Structure 1
Amino acid sequence: MEFNQVLKKRREITSFLEEKIPKEVMEEILNQACLAPTGNNLPSREFVVVTNRETLDLLYHTTPYMKWLKEAQGAVIVTGRPEISKYWLQDASIACSYIWLSAVNEGLGCAFGAVFNMEDEVKSKQGEEYVRKILHIPSDRRVIAVLGLGYQKEAPSKKDSTPKNELVHYETF
């Protein structure tokens, strides 16, 4: 698929078919995720891949906003390493975008579930600890997000985007 078509096709998909994701497809998504740039080229983000149904069902309870994990056939949990780089959050966020766009390119749908929350430290810690416990993630990693993956049940309706002229400023704000 052409890159601009991937960008235009990307939507949050929250309803998935029961069709398994082939291992080769998941590996290609992870190959692309590992190409995501990082500040100073430091390894400040890592990924946990989950395809086990019981584990996905446990992760569903991370926040009230991940109900789609009940149908997702896989998930990639993105973690950050603050001790490696001061840009760990940006690095992990860029990797999330690579995963999402790679999933679209591979014919999958993707849903984004934020775990790390800058504005609510208590909720962030609760969600992170919950995921950390299930997946045995070391305590020096921050859990940024859970990206649910699967073949979409139906095409989502087109959503209007904010017009470019409201977002882009040339030369000055």
Structure 2
Amino acid sequence: MELFEALHTRRSIRAFTDQPISEADLETILRAAMDAPSAVNAQPWHFVVITDRAMLDPIPDIHPHAAMCRTAQAAIVSVAEIALEKAPGNWMVDCSAAVENLLLAARGLGIGSVWCGLYPRQERMAPMAALLGLPEGFLPHALVPLGYPAQEFKRVERFKPERIHRNGW
């Protein structure tokens, strides 16, 4: 898929078919995530891939906006290893860049995704950390359910020229 088509047609997909996602496609998505920029090239991220239905199904009890996990074929949780951070305060920006790459890679493969934020909501982070068995010093950042879409990818015009300022406000 052409880059700008992927950029302009990436949408939050919340309805999935039961078609499985191949390990090769999951690896392609994770490789794209790890190619993201990070402050001082710290790359403080880890990714937990969830494909076990027994783990996917209870996620909506942790995240109130993640009901689509019950039909997703996989989910990826971005996790920050705080000890790897070289520019204090930037781990969440670094992980966000990785998640955006992940979303675009999924779109490029025709796989639907939706970004479900965990950070900074402790009521979501703590139970997700428990579900995943995260060790001390590792923080869950975002949850991305994945699956082949049971809805359409379509472009929605979001360009707002009135929000562009040049050489100052």
- Regarding TM over 0.5, the answer is yes
Q: Which residue of 2 aligns with 1:37?
A: 37
In 2, Cα distance between the equivalents of 1:83 and 1:106?
Answer: 33
Deviation string for 1:42-75 (max 9, x for gaps)?
1311111111111111222222111111111111
Q: Which residue of 2 aligns with 1:131?
A: 128
In 1, Cα distance between the equivalents of 2:50 and 2:40?
Answer: 29
Runs of 4+ more than 6 Å apart: none
In 1, Cα distance between the equivalents of 2:30 and 2:155?
Answer: 28
Contact 1:25 1:106 in 2 (8 A): yes
Q: Which residue of 2 aligns with 1:121?
A: none
* Identical positions, percent: 25
Report the Cα offset of residue 125 of structure 1.
Answer: 1.7
TM-score for both structures, normalised by structure 1: 0.90
In 1, Cα distance between the equivalents of 2:56 and 2:150?
Answer: 18
Q: Which residue of 2 aligns with 1:120?
A: none
Q: Which residue of 2 aligns with 1:107?
A: 110
- The count of residues paired between Structure 1 and Structure 2 equals 166
Report the Cα offset of residue 134 of structure 1.
Answer: 0.9
Contact 1:112 1:145 in 2 (8 A): yes
Residue aligned with 2:57, SS: helix
Alignment root-mean-square deviation, CA:
1.4
Residue aligned with 2:49, SS: strand
Q: Does 1:145 align with 2:163?
A: no
In 1, Cα distance between the equivalents of 2:162 and 2:75?
Answer: 34
In 2, Cα distance between the equivalents of 1:126 and 1:6?
Answer: 33
In 2, Cα distance between the equivalents of 1:78 and 1:172?
Answer: 35
Q: Which runs of 5+ in 1 are unaligned?
A: 118-123
Contact 1:46 1:79 in 2 (8 A): yes
Q: Which residue of 1 aligns with 2:67?
A: 67
Residue aligned with 2:115, SS: strand
TM-score for both structures, normalised by structure 2: 0.92
In 2, Cα distance between the equivalents of 1:39 and 1:158?
Answer: 31
Q: Does 1:154 align with 2:151?
A: yes
Q: How does 1:13-28 map to 2 (within 5 A)?
A: 13-28=13-28
